[in-house]
Amino acid sequence: MTGRKNNRIKGHVDALATGFKYLAEPNRMTLNYPDESMNLKDNYRGFFAVKDKTCIGCSLCEIVCPPKAISMLDLTDAGGKKKKRPMIDWGLCIFCYFCVDICPTDAFQTSQVHDKAFYSETEYQTVHGEPMQYPYDYSKRPDYKEIYESFHDVAPDDPSAGSKKVVPKFDKKRGIKYEHPGQP
Amino acid sequence: MIQILSLLMSVSLVSFIEYILPPILYIIVFPGLIVVLLMLFFMIWLERKVAAKTQLRFGPLYVSKRFGGVIQTVADLIRFSFQEFIIPAGADVFAYIQAPGLLMAFGLLPLIFIPVGPYYANIFPANYSLLIVVPLIIITPIYVILLGWASDNKFSFVGSMREAFLVISYEIPLILSILSMILLYGSVNAINGVSFQIGRGIPGIVLNPIAAFLFLVVMIRTTGRFPFEISEAESEVVMGPYTEYSALFFGIGMSLPYIELYSFSLLFSVLFLGGWWPIVPSAAAASGVVGGLLLPGLVVFIKALIVMAFLVFLRAVYPRYRIDQAITVGWDQAVYLGFAAVALSMALVWSGLV
Amino acid sequence: MSAPQDRTATANLTYDELAGLKADRELVLLIGPAHPGSGHMKIKVWMDGDIIQRVDPDIGFVHRTTEKLSENRLYIKAIPIVERVMLPDTINANLAYVIALERLLGIEPTPRAQYLRTLTSEINRITSHLYGIGLYGIFLGSSTVYMWAFADREPLIDLIEEISGARITYSYIIPGGVRWDLPAGFKERAETVLQYMEARLKDYGKIWVRNPVVMDRTEGVGVVSKSDAIRLGITGPNLRASGVDYDTRRAKPYAAYPNLDFEVPTFSEGDCYARLLQRVEEIEQSIRIIRQVLKDIPDGRIISDDIYSKMNPLQKRMYEMKHRVMFPAYMASMRPAAGRSTASVEAGRGEIFFYLVSNGDKVPFRFRWVTPSFLNLPFFTHVMVGQHLADLPAIYGSSDYFPPEADR
Amino acid sequence: MGGGADGVAYFGNLETVSKKAVSFLKKQGYVKSMINWGDKFSLWPVHLMTSCCGTEFAAASGPRFDLERLGFLPFGGPRQTNLIVIEGTTTLKMARSVRIVWEQMPAPKWVIAMGACAMDGGIFYDSYNTVPAKDIVPIDIFLAGCPPRPEALARAVVMLQESIVKNRPPAADIQVTAAPATPGPKDVVEAVSK
């Protein structure tokens, strides 16, 4: 492929023939997204939530979070004991999973949900209601207890849940093809 | 008023079918406005779809899933029609507004002079059809230049300059190519050309392949297909002359290359692909609307469609040439090829082989 | 507009007056930053007719202050930052930073981790080159090559996604090793993808590399001679396409490269076509390296004992079960001893150079890095003069310049 | 049709006449739904690479995700397009271009803020040289991730299409975002509802 001498006519014929080859035998690898969606691998880094029971409030996730998307809340549980719990701002999160990996008790509930979009800031800043301030703006921090109650242990809702799930498979000829797990 | 009514009543149904309906059919339906519009929608969709197929993907689909997104262009047109129309502050307003309209008008004009059936001679003077079509085709790009000039944008300016250079350099090959066919057919009447091909049983592309190839190259250049999509080159001059145009005016401007493509393809199928062969209407049928106009027209249209499909497919294969390379080809190799085509025609005629 | 119409009027003009006339004819084009052929930068072009007289690239549209940000954050937090700068080529940025950090910390990664780093780095090199080839297609007007290149990135991206759990921003390499081990059956799947890639390269040759129009556009355009290439300090494939046999993987070996057998292709012409061929050849070499890595990869831990010993029992159990490295709390409180370190890595576009200074604090005292695109910037302003306007995208595209990488 | 003072012919005041005509037409229900249908399947994003999410934007128009299926065709010039996808971080220098391009685009126009950097700043939240996208232009859809997967961009487009069909006006019509002379991270957004 690396030589420079080229027969021009052969070059044109080759180019047109290759074009025709792919036109006649389309080798598509398109995922019909809103109708189909991919089953991602288990270790895919998607949206996540906190398991309230497992969390010990050690603040390591807050310390290691590169974009400071996690800020610890001061809450009181049913028994009146003080506890700290992490709060995640999706407007900052970069899904590096440093928080998930550094957690000494494995208290993060991970998911493969990756395709969330929001109409307004209020939707993403807590996912459930009241907007959260910037994590470094601690002066204006409201009481997040209620928000947190609705947030932890809840797996993020998957926008593409209703679509047909397909599994991508490698193929020698087509690169990627999709298989429907439900079908034989 | 009464006189007009009585005049209308005196026109019988037969004369209506014979004299009034065909020109209307010809201008409005085929190859006129309605077919142009449908062809436009279809061709732009086909271009995107063919490119997408070669590129391992689907192309426009969700607008009508069952039919492969065939009405995608309609959606684009509706969106363009109701968008804000912006006139740039520095533009020459009068020229800026009128240029797309004139462009459209001059782009459509050649269609009248391309015979798509033997019946054509009854309606329009066909004796000089080829002599009229050539200047009409050549004059259209002047309005592309006007488009770029009026926009007051440097990229439009560069784009229209490119268009001007290319038009001039590909005029002579076009004229030489058509001239060689005129010499071969011994007539500037395209209907005679078709009857020549039908009479000999050999299409023009076999008789003079050099002229056919040259005409194809000029066609690719004039309609801005790849690899000669130079005046609109997106990565160099954004959209060339059309950069500043928005809303419906952009739609009108961008449809011009496809209208040109259509008229060129009709001309190509008449000149080189045997016109309405294999349908050869008898003398009686040739003066009828169906036998003389619609059926031959359909055949010419299908041939033109195949040519157009090939040309839009080139987008999937080629990148674009540089302007100076394209100009060099136009003034150098293409002109030699043109002379060769003329010489071949002369040789054929003088040797009496055809 | 004030140019004299009379031909005799110019006959007696002085040189300066003629120069003024010339300035009147000069066209200044501002290409970018919202121009389809510019990327994230503005190129100011002075033209006389269609010939470029002068080029002034205006960079800094994507300057995101990574060095200053990293100097105010924990060492571990710089990993995502350096990745964001080189998005088509994240593993190599990540690797370069982590090597510099490991030298500060005095940690040595395990052999298996070294091989995994090489593996992901080479897969990433292919995707990076395909990205460059695809965008070059757009610059020259061939949407097919763009689509094909982006299609063929996908299987390779899926391969790394299996290992690292992300599409582009892997954050895969950490001090002491890597974060995930190879999943089961990875070798077979990788082999399938490599065979697919090899078959596709033949079709690329027919429709793109050997296409006469492409050869017309690129041959003899934007020629950088060997001496110019060295003088301008350009790096990576662009340097090797000018005939300089320099590759960081050879010159300053790192990761598993000393154990591997591969060639460094070079071309002597130094024009746009040579730079295109250079990338295609390097893809072939990368395929060869990946095969060797998959064959020779040793068994063992993917994280060094220094880090493993700092994990708590739950994290150790997680590692044994899932082959996934959990971070000990040490990761958030690394305090390298005072000192300085450097690292060089051959990324897709050339050599990344890192310079870290620690004063024993938990944030770097000085964080400095040089990215390949910034080094490649001078060369296209150098060669564009005297070329046609249409050659600007041809040269720009052939240099595979990625503005966020240059602006840091 | 009147004659101008300096030999220029006018078709009335073109701008007011066309605006009146369009607003009349838009009040008709069937016309409105037709326009919505056209807008829904003809979202053309302008070529404006603000940052590194551009790689995933490019992958989204690539064959595997192929957003052209949804009528989403990336296009060169701003005059012919109706959508901006802000791809990641906007620096102070780029913010001006974003605003200029947004103002160059014809009227019904939408903006997608792609990625964490365009939402709240992402990993560059405290950089001295970046601006949140919402301080520059009014934004219709926010898209999480760094960078978001191409599917997520497809999700944003689908959500935008839904909102168009539901007659939700573009954010450009609801908010009036004053263009900051030198936009900075701390510039206050003045969102004025109609």
Asked whether C386 and C50 are in contact (CB, 8 A), the reply is no
C25/chain A closest Cα distance in angstroms: 38
For A60, left (φ over 0), alpha (ψ -120 to 50), or beta?
alpha
Asked whether residue C1 is assigned to any structural domain, the reply reads no
Closest-CA residue in chain D for B241?
Answer: D77
> CA B342, CA D12: separation in Å to the nearest integer?
54
D148/chain A closest Cα distance in angstroms: 7
Cα–Cα distances in Å, from C315 out to B146, B275, C82, C305, C335? 72, 80, 27, 14, 22
Asked whether residue A14 is assigned to any structural domain, the reply reads no
Asked whether residue A147 is assigned to any structural domain, the reply reads yes
B74-83, C64-73, C395-404, D8-17: which range is least confident on average? Answer: D8-17
Helical pair B333-351 and B323-331, crossing angle rounded to 10 deg: 30
Whether the per-residue pLDDT at B107 is higher than 90: the answer is no
Q: Residue A3's pLDDT is what? A: 56
Q: Do both C134 and C16 map to the same domain?
A: no
Closest-CA residue in chain B for A23?
Answer: B54
pLDDT digits (tens, 9 = 90+) for D34-62: 888 888 888 899 988 888 888 889 899 88
Q: Do both C48 and C77 map to the same domain?
A: no
Q: In order of start, what are the domains of chain D with their CATH numbers?
A: 44-169 (3.40.50.12280)
Q: Do both C45 and C156 map to the same domain?
A: no
Asked whether residue B311 is assigned to any structural domain, the reply reads yes
For residue A41, the one-letter residue type is: K
User: Terminal CA-to-CA distance of chain B, rounded, Å?
Assistant: 58
Confidence of residue B17 (pLDDT cuts 50, 70, 90): low
Q: Do both C204 and C137 map to the same domain?
A: yes
Domain that holds residue B106: 88-351
Closest-CA residue in chain D for B92?
Answer: D8
Confidence of residue C124 (pLDDT cuts 50, 70, 90): very high
Asked whether residue A36 is assigned to any structural domain, the reply reads no
Q: Do both C125 and C261 map to the same domain?
A: yes
Contact partners for chain B, using 3 or more CB pairs closer than 8 A, are A, C, D
Q: Residue B190's pLDDT is what? A: 84
Asked whether residue A105 is assigned to any structural domain, the reply reads yes
Q: How many domains in chain B?
A: 1
Asked whether residue B77 is assigned to any structural domain, the reply reads no
pLDDT digits (tens, 9 = 90+) for B108-146: 888 888 888 777 766 666 778 888 888 888 888 888 888
Asked whether residue A86 is assigned to any structural domain, the reply reads yes
Q: Residue D19's pLDDT is what? A: 75
Q: Which residues of C touch A67 (CB under 8 A)?
A: 80
CATH code for the domain in which residue A83 is found: 3.30.70.3270
Asked whether residue B5 is assigned to any structural domain, the reply reads no
Confidence of residue A53 (pLDDT cuts 50, 70, 90): confident
A9/chain B closest Cα distance in angstroms: 14
Asked whether residue A92 is assigned to any structural domain, the reply reads yes
Q: Residue D12's pLDDT is what? A: 64
Give the DSSP H/E element, type plus range, for residue B117.
Answer: none
Q: Residue A122's pLDDT is what? A: 66
Asked whether residue C211 is assigned to any structural domain, the reply reads yes
Asked whether residue B242 is assigned to any structural domain, the reply reads yes
Q: What is the DSSP string of A17-68?
A: HHHHHHHHS-------TTTEEE---TT----EEE-TTT-----HHHHH-TT-
Confidence of residue C329 (pLDDT cuts 50, 70, 90): confident
Confidence of residue B9 (pLDDT cuts 50, 70, 90): low
Q: Which whole number is the average pLDDT over A94-120?
A: 84
Q: Which whole number is the average pLDDT over A67-96?
A: 80
> CA A183, CA B11: separation in Å to the nearest integer?
69
Whether the per-residue pLDDT at C62 is higher than 60: the answer is yes
Q: Cβ–Cβ of A15/B318 closer than 8 Å?
A: yes
Q: How many domains in chain A?
A: 1
Confidence of residue A144 (pLDDT cuts 50, 70, 90): low
Q: Cβ–Cβ of D52/C62 closer than 8 Å?
A: yes
Q: Which whole number is the average pLDDT over B261-285?
A: 82
Domain that holds residue A92: 48-151
CATH code for the domain in which residue C385 is found: 1.10.645.10
Q: Which residues of A touch B62 (CB under 8 A)?
A: 34
Q: Do both C93 and C22 map to the same domain?
A: no
Q: Residue B15's pLDDT is what? A: 65
Whether the per-residue pLDDT at A149 is higher than 70: the answer is no
> CA C334, CA D45: separation in Å to the nearest integer?
44
pLDDT digits (tens, 9 = 90+) for D142-184: 888 888 889 889 989 998 998 888 887 777 777 655 554 444 4
Give the DSSP H/E element, type plus range, for residue B331.
Answer: helix B323-331
CB-nearest to B56 from A27, A32, A34 is A27
> CA B141, CA B163: separation in Å to the nearest integer?
7
Q: Cβ–Cβ of A16/B317 closer than 8 Å?
A: yes
Asked whether residue A37 is assigned to any structural domain, the reply reads no
Confidence of residue A129 (pLDDT cuts 50, 70, 90): very low
pLDDT digits (tens, 9 = 90+) for D108-117: 889 998 888 8
Domain that holds residue C28: 7-58
Q: Cβ of C310 under 8 Å from any chain A Cβ?
A: no
Give the DSSP H/E element, type plus range, for residue A70.
Answer: strand A70-76
Asked whether residue C207 is assigned to any structural domain, the reply reads yes
Q: Do both C180 and C39 map to the same domain?
A: no
Please choose, from the candidates B331, B320, B332, the residue with its C-alpha nearest in 3D space to the C-alpha of residue B165. Answer: B331
Q: How many domains in chain C?
A: 2
CB-nearest to A1 from C199, C209, C212 is C209
Asked whether residue A180 is assigned to any structural domain, the reply reads no
Alpha helices in B201-294 (DSSP H): 204-207, 209-222, 234-237, 247-271, 283-286, 289
Q: Cβ–Cβ of D50/C167 closer than 8 Å?
A: no
Q: What angle do CA A106, A108, A113 make, to 5 degrees?
A: 140
Whether the per-residue pLDDT at B340 is higher than 90: the answer is yes
Q: Residue D178's pLDDT is what? A: 52
Confidence of residue C2 (pLDDT cuts 50, 70, 90): very low
Q: Residue C343's pLDDT is what? A: 92
Asked whether residue B184 is assigned to any structural domain, the reply reads yes
Q: Do both C181 and C297 map to the same domain?
A: yes
Q: Residue A127's pLDDT is what? A: 43
Asked whether residue C152 is assigned to any structural domain, the reply reads yes
Structure tokens at D35: 């326009």
pLDDT digits (tens, 9 = 90+) for C223-248: 888 898 899 888 889 999 998 889 88
Q: What is the mean pLDDT of chain B?
A: 84
Asked whether C286 and C122 are in contact (CB, 8 A), the reply is yes
> CA B273, CA C284: separation in Å to the nearest integer?
46
